[in-house]
Amino acid sequence: MSAVKDAPVLVVMAAGMGSRFGGLKQIEDVDGRGHALIDYAVYDAALAGFEEVVFIIRSEIAEEFKKTVGDRIAAKLPVKYVYQSLDMIPEGSEVPEGRVKPWGTTHAIWCCRDVLKGRSFLTVNADDFYGREAFIDAAEFLKSDGPDNEYGIIGYNVIGTLNEKFTVSRGICSVDENSYLKRIDERKEIKFEAGRGYFTLDGGVTYTLIPADSVASMNLWAFRPAFMEDLVVNYESRLRAGIKNDPLKFEETLSDAVQNIIERRACTVKVINTAAKWIGMTYREDIPQVREALDELTARGVYPEGRW
């Protein structure tokens, strides 16, 4: 199936190191039938109307990724690869000595600037299950008429995105009365306790309650072409400053990038709340829970039996 030029693109961020998981979770068999969570995302996205996939990966995992996941998907949909690496930085900059940490999800999307020029696209994490309704909502938004600098975020109730055993990071959204994003704050070390979420800013000395009706970002951003145009113009200066001021630890998330554009009044972001159930796989201990949920969906006929 050939992709229509104006059809939205699915962009899968799959360059993660998997340090907490202890391996390449982006290609981990999660259902006992050889499927990774990426397979479920692409399957749902294709049904929702996405006709092309861009995988952001590291060159050192390219062969294994293609053999395990990529080639199978490429047999169904047009696939392109973008290779993210530490040395993909603005001309004249140098990778700081001792730098190991990736530059962040904004950098991942910036690396796609040539492939995604003039395109609308949806970003997803390779290690999340989002639910088909979320992709349908995103596709409807991207195919609708609207200002080129109006973007969308598929929002999940924060409680449904927390882990009972481990702390997580989430972008917590502040939303106005018209369902537009006012600001988004990246909260790290969020714990789930007695049915509530709490974040800390001081390493666990004190915790602040997150309101139960808060909306969390799971990196399901629906961007129109103006977003990439803004990144090309404005991101490089932020990256240069980060390299200079915090050479070993600087990173910028997509939440940071969107917040920067909002503060410049250069975009609006529609918050699209979804009833879809999110399932995450941060740690290897999460696999049984993920498999149980996927088995249930398969038994209900949401996904086909066997290899797709």
Kindly report the CATH number assigned to the domain that includes residue 60. Answer: 3.90.550.10
Q: What is the total count of domains within the chain?
A: 1
Please report which helix (H) or strand (E) contains residue 287, including its range: helix 287-299
Produce one character per residue of 234-267: b if its CB has 16 or more CB atoms within 10 Å, e if not. ebbebbeebbeeeeeebebbbbbbbbbbbeeeeb
Q: From CA 63, how far away is CA 49, in angstroms rounded?
A: 28
pLDDT of the residue at 91: 87
What is the pTM (predicted TM-score) of this model? 0.94
Which pLDDT score is estimated for 184?
Answer: 97
In a domain, 47, yes or no: yes
Structural domain containing residue 248:
9-148+216-266+277-299
Distance of CA 227 to CAs 37, 186, 260, Å?
27, 20, 12
Rounded-to-integer distance, Cα 103 and Cα 44, Å: 29
Confirm whether 180 is domain-assigned.
no
Q: CA-CA distance, 141 to 224, in Å (whole number)? A: 10
Q: Is 108 a member of any domain? A: yes
126 in a structural domain: yes
Q: 293 in a domain, yes or no?
A: yes
Predicted confidence pLDDT, tens digits, the chain (308 residues): 444 447 899 999 999 766 666 578 899 999 999 999 999 999 999 999 999 999 999 999 999 999 999 999 999 999 999 999 999 998 889 999 999 999 999 999 999 999 999 999 999 999 999 999 999 999 999 999 999 999 999 999 999 999 888 899 999 999 999 999 999 999 989 999 999 999 999 999 999 999 999 999 999 999 999 999 999 999 999 999 999 999 999 999 999 999 999 999 999 999 999 999 999 888 888 899 999 999 999 999 999 987 66
Give the orientation angle of helix 254-263 with respect to helix 225-245, to 10 degrees: 100
- pLDDT computed for residue 40 by the predictor: 97
